Amino acid sequence: MRRLGVACSLVCAVVVVGCSGAAKSTRLTMGDLDDTTAVMAQKLADSRLLADRTPESPRMLIAINKVENLTSDLIPESEEWLLMERVKGSLPILNLGKERNMAFVIPANHLRAGRKRGNLPQGFAMERRPTHEMTATFHSGTRSSRKDRTDAYLVEYRITDLETGTLEWNETFEFKRAAAGLAYD
Amino acid sequence: MKSLIAAAVGCGVVVLAGCSPPKGENNGRVEITDTTPAERGSSQVQLTAQTEFSDQVAQQLAADLSNVPELNKGYRSTVVFGDIVNKTGVVPTTEFEAFRMRIRSKLMQSQMVLKNIRFVENRARLDSLRQRELGGSGDVLQEGSAGSGTTPLNPQYTYFLNGEMYRASRGTRDEVNMYLMSYNLTNAQTGELVWTNSPYEVKQVR
């Protein structure tokens, strides 16, 4: 009987260690990207930059650029664009024009790529004159000890006036990911 | 027999709990203020300590800048985020950059600071932005000089916020580390240091 009890305890211990839901990687998840864009979209919507603008404000033309990745994680280029497009897409584009006198222009990167592919007619977007740029930078710091690893992520979004260099809007979002064990365990 | 049944039931509960699937995508996410086992076991400066220090620096800097007479003359002065130098020898450049960004962002949330100051990017960064977005003479493919078209800053009302971060350590394995952050504000026209802080400090003991 006693042996049975001991065996039962051992099985439990093995199962708990082997089946525990502890993360084994500190890589960015889709959930992290979702939360980042949702938080930033909300912060931009609540910002003084938007609140202070009226239809009479000087025209603001914003060009977005992909996220600059300074983390130790690999963020594919498509996700770097996704992180910006989602925040931009959260804004009511039509109302922005009417109520805030602001609009977005085609990103320089897309324009260059389109021209190189020969898909755009001569003179396309020749009058493109963004007044502001919106971009972001992802940073990370890593600590590891034996089988434990932690990555602290910080993403900074900003809108900069291209004429004066003034930082018109600047917000950060940060979180940590902790993992134990090896990803291939 | 009763105890065996109880043990079996207990084991079943543990198995179910242990094998439950990860809770959504956020499994492994921890609060930025929590110190994790990896941080405790690492010989590097703790990430939590860095976060706390940057909060402390931003708070003190905001309070100090709002009391600088040159920045309280009834108009918004221009402050360029200048050179912040990492002289700690142990904080990696990428982490120092994040540290700097965090302080900048916190400062920009301070209404007390923004009342008197507008922050601008440094010249090198602005030129790089303009080059990317505006290119040369309107055609982004010409990649010409983007220097023209900027509004020059009036040096009389422009200040550069520069700083340095130092470290002093003691112990055979650097068990005690003191981090110091010094800032100064320099007038762009005269080069005069209009304000310097008594260094903001934090001590970390392992």
ipTM score here? 0.79
For residue A12, give the nearest of B15, B140, B151 by CB distance: B15
Residue A10's pLDDT is: 57
Residue A134's pLDDT is: 96
pLDDT at B7 over 90: no
Q: Do A175 and B32 touch (CB under 8 A)?
A: yes
How many C-beta neighbours within 10 Å does residue B159 have? 27
Mean pLDDT calculated for residue range B17-40: 73
For residue A148, give the nearest of B32, B38, B135 by CB distance: B38
For residue A175, give the nearest of B19, B29, B102 by CB distance: B29
pLDDT at B25 over 60: no
pLDDT at B186 over 90: yes
Share of chain B above pLDDT 70, in %: 79
Say which residues have a Cβ less than 8 Å from residue A77's Cβ, sequence separation at least 6: A66
Q: Do B120 and A166 touch (CB under 8 A)?
A: yes
Q: Do B38 and A150 touch (CB under 8 A)?
A: yes
Of all residues in chain B, the one with the smallest CA distance to A174 is B32
Phi, psi of A64 (to 5 degrees): -100, 155
Residue B142's pLDDT is: 42
Q: Answer for the pair A138, A155: CB distance below 8 angstroms, yes or no.
A: yes
Q: Do A178 and B38 touch (CB under 8 A)?
A: yes
pLDDT at B81 over 60: yes
Q: What is the largest CA-CA distance in chain A?
A: 87
Of all residues in chain B, the one with the smallest CA distance to A126 is B139
Mean pLDDT calculated for residue range B23-48: 83
Q: Do A172 and B94 touch (CB under 8 A)?
A: no
Closest CA to B177 of B149, B135, B146, B205: B205
d(CA A12, CA A9): 5
Residue B22's pLDDT is: 45
- Which of A54-58, B50-54, B172-176 bottoms out in mean pLDDT, i.e. has the lowest? B172-176
d(CA B76, CA B98): 27
d(CA A153, CA B38): 15
For residue A149, give the nearest of B19, B38, B80 by CB distance: B38
Write b or e for each residue in B73-112: b if 16 or more Cβ atoms lie within 10 A of its Cβ, otherwise e: eeeebbbbbbebebebeebeeebbbbbbbbbbbbbbebee
Q: Answer for the pair B115, B109: CB distance below 8 angstroms, yes or no.
A: no
Q: Which residues of B touch A156 (CB under 8 A)?
A: 101, 105
Pairing between β-strand A68-70 and β-strand A132-145 as defined by DSSP bridges: parallel
Distance between first and last Cα of chain B: 51
pLDDT < 70 positions in chain A: 1-22, 182-185
Q: Which residues of A touch B135 (CB under 8 A)?
A: 108
d(CA A148, CA B53): 24
Q: Rounded to a whole number, what is the distance in Å from the CA of B42 to chain A's nearest CA?
A: 5
CA gyration radius, chain B:
25
- Which of A12-26, B58-72, B164-178 bottoms out in mean pLDDT, i.e. has the lowest? A12-26
Strands (E), A41-116: 60-64, 68-70, 102-105
Q: Do A156 and B22 touch (CB under 8 A)?
A: no
d(CA A90, CA B24): 23
Structure tokens, B43? 């010989």
Residue B27: pLDDT band (50, 70, 90) is confident
